Amino acid sequence: MPTMTQAGYTPPQKSMPPKAKSPKKPKKNKKRKKGIGTAGVVSLVIFLIAVLIGSCTLFLYAQTAPYADKFLPNTSISGYALGGLTAQEGAAALAMLTDDAVSAWQYTLTWGKHTYTLDGAAVSLAVDTAATLDPLWQIGRGGNMLTRYLAMLSLRGDGRAEKPVLTYDMDAVDAFLADMKADIDCDSVDATVAYVAGNSEPFRFTDEQAGRELETDAIRARIEASILNLSPETEALKPKEISPKVYRVELENATVLRARVIVPLSGSAAAQENAALAAVQFQGARIEPGESLSFNQTVGMRTEESGYTAAEEPAYGQNIVGVGGGVCQVSTALYRLALLGGLEIAERSAAVYPVDYCEIGQEAAVSDQGLDLVLTNNTDAPLFLVVRVYAENDGQTMEWQLIGKENESRFSLVSEVETIDAPEEPVYVRDSEGRYATYADERIPVSEARPGYRATVSLVDENGETVRVVSEDTYDAMAQIVYVGVQQRN
């Protein structure tokens, strides 16, 4: 059958006899190409890492080795670079920076002509080398080369700067300030006034003086700041002035006549002598502001040993004899003086019955057995009592002056008295001792009936206005006393 090709017809071919097959050559084994493989990659990575580590190690060593026994770069003390210095060289540099400043340091204080100087030796001023340099020396000392290099990197830029660490004794500073304060401080001195009897100028004055006080807390702080900066300083001291509490001009203005009482002494000669003796006990007496004056404490016991004699004195409407009789005239004068001077009366007793040496209600009864007159200085200045007893018109006159700060007004005492009728019936007393009456049919009057009184005493100013009511006293009316004997006539 004909065979068709793409080109067209193809004539048949003659068959050929088959050729004998030649023997096959043996096949050669071809070598298989092998890849790098996993193990090779790992080995390569390890190699590269080793190279990198080696390079880094060499780099780190090159960077850090020069500072193995030296300060790292960018470390400094007070602006002086320590980088590249050994510990010994750093200590020498610190000494160079500070020795002269430590030796030259001092703090000078002046006050007037006085000068007080505190130097470094006095406060044991020194530089602590170890405390100053160790914080810088220890940077990067711990760990390995990497941590040391990282420490070096951290110092780039601002770096690490320190100031010298100083040691000093603040107790020595305190002692220095205490001595200086003791030298400068002084208390203020008040002006004084004293009464000098017998002088034409009875009051003697002394001037006031201002005090000083040095406040040292702020000075102490400034001294310590100067030490820390190693900067010598000079300072002028300015102590605080302490003003006195009392000035001379105030005392001079407070020694004026505040009140005066002039009374004639009454009674027997003995009574007047007793009164004069009691009165002179008050001469020149000084009463400080807020202080009280007691009549009995000032006069003391009225005894013969004290110079007092027996004399008549009024009691219960009668005159009785007693040692020291007559001194109630003195307490009464002092009481009236205190009222006129505007003083506070802390204690006062009225007489049982009105006396004849003052208006009713203006007396002050005293007894060394209990009754007292106590007055208080309620002003803000000292008070002085000036007392004198002098002969006048065949008798003796007693004058009292109260000296102190000027009174706000001139005062007077006014007694308003209401009379209480005397009882009509007498009081009979059995005279068992027979002093006045012996027999039962005897009636001996020993006293007259006396009216009673209600007295109101007021303090009145110079305009006639009542300032205050001073006292309200009642004096009981007294019946006639009649003694009756007790014996029967035979």
Give the span between the Cα atoms of 111 and 134, in whole angstroms: 43
Q: How many CB atoms lie within 10 A of CB 426?
A: 15
pLDDT range class, residue 24, cuts 50, 70, 90: low
pLDDT at residue number 342: 94
Residue 75's DSSP bridge partners are 160
Give the span between the Cα atoms of 336 and 430, in whole angstroms: 41
pLDDT at residue number 45: 84
Give the span between the Cα atoms of 175 and 4, in whole angstroms: 137
**In the predicted structure, residue 63 carries a pLDDT above the cut 90:** no
Question: What is the phi/psi pair of residue 324, to 5°?
Answer: 90, 10
What would the two tokens of residue 468 be?
């205050």
CB 329 within 8 A of CB 357: yes
Crossing angle of helices 87-104 and 129-137, in 10° steps, is 140
Greater confidence (312 vs 476) lies with 476
pLDDT range class, residue 44, cuts 50, 70, 90: confident
**In the predicted structure, residue 239 carries a pLDDT above the cut 60:** yes
Residue 287's DSSP bridge partners are 383
CA proximity to 472, closest of 448, 453, 454: 454
What average pLDDT is seen over the chain? 89
**In the predicted structure, residue 14 carries a pLDDT above the cut 80:** no
Give the span between the Cα atoms of 206 and 247, in whole angstroms: 9
What percentage of the chain reaches a pLDDT higher than 90? 72
Mean pLDDT for 273-289 is: 96
pLDDT tens column, 136-150: 998 888 888 888 888
Strand bridging mode 233-236 / 75-77: unpaired
Only one residue has tokens 């790992």, namely 42
Greater confidence (17 vs 390) lies with 390
What would the two tokens of residue 318 be?
């009668």
**In the predicted structure, residue 280 carries a pLDDT above the cut 70:** yes
Element at 385 (helix H, strand E)? strand 383-392
Strand bridging mode 106-111 / 412-420: unpaired
Q: How many CB atoms lie within 10 A of CB 229?
A: 13
What is the CB-side half-sphere exposure of residue 253 using CA atoms within 13 A? 6
Question: What is the phi/psi pair of residue 358, to 5°?
Answer: -160, 165
Mean pLDDT for 3-14 is: 36
Q: For the chain, which domains are there?
A: 59-253 (no CATH), 254-408 (no CATH), 409-490 (2.20.230)
CB 457 within 8 A of CB 413: yes
Only one residue has tokens 């009222």, namely 339
pLDDT range class, residue 200, cuts 50, 70, 90: confident
Mean pLDDT for 39-44 is: 83
Q: Which residues of 130-156 are buried (b: 16+ CB within 10 A; e: fewer)?
A: eebbeebbebbeeeebeebbebbeebe
CA proximity to 477, closest of 457, 453, 460: 453
CB 477 within 8 A of CB 418: no
**In the predicted structure, residue 377 carries a pLDDT above the cut 70:** yes
Strand bridging mode 466-475 / 481-484: unpaired
Q: Assign 124 to helix, strand or coil.
A: coil
pLDDT at residue number 96: 93
pLDDT tens column, 80-96: 999 999 999 999 999 99
Reported pTM:
0.66
pLDDT range class, residue 49, cuts 50, 70, 90: confident
Only one residue has tokens 């400043």, namely 101
CB 293 within 8 A of CB 387: no
pLDDT at residue number 25: 57
pLDDT range class, residue 29, cuts 50, 70, 90: low
Q: What angle do CA 260, 261, 263 make, to 5 degrees?
A: 155
Spell out the residues 6+ positions from residue 231 whose beta carbon is closer than 8 angstroms to its own.
105
Helical ranges in 10-164 per DSSP H: 37-64, 87-104, 129-137, 145-154
What would the two tokens of residue 485 be?
């004997």
Only one residue has tokens 């009454």, namely 266
CB 105 within 8 A of CB 113: no
Q: What angle do CA 453, 458, 459 make, to 5 degrees?
A: 150
pLDDT at residue number 109: 98
pLDDT tens column, 108-121: 999 999 999 999 99
**In the predicted structure, residue 262 carries a pLDDT above the cut 80:** yes
CA proximity to 289, closest of 375, 192, 405, 379: 379
Spell out the residues 6+ positions from residue 261 whose beta carbon is closer than 8 angstroms to its own.
333, 336, 337, 340, 399, 400
pLDDT tens column, 118-142: 999 999 999 999 999 999 998 888 8
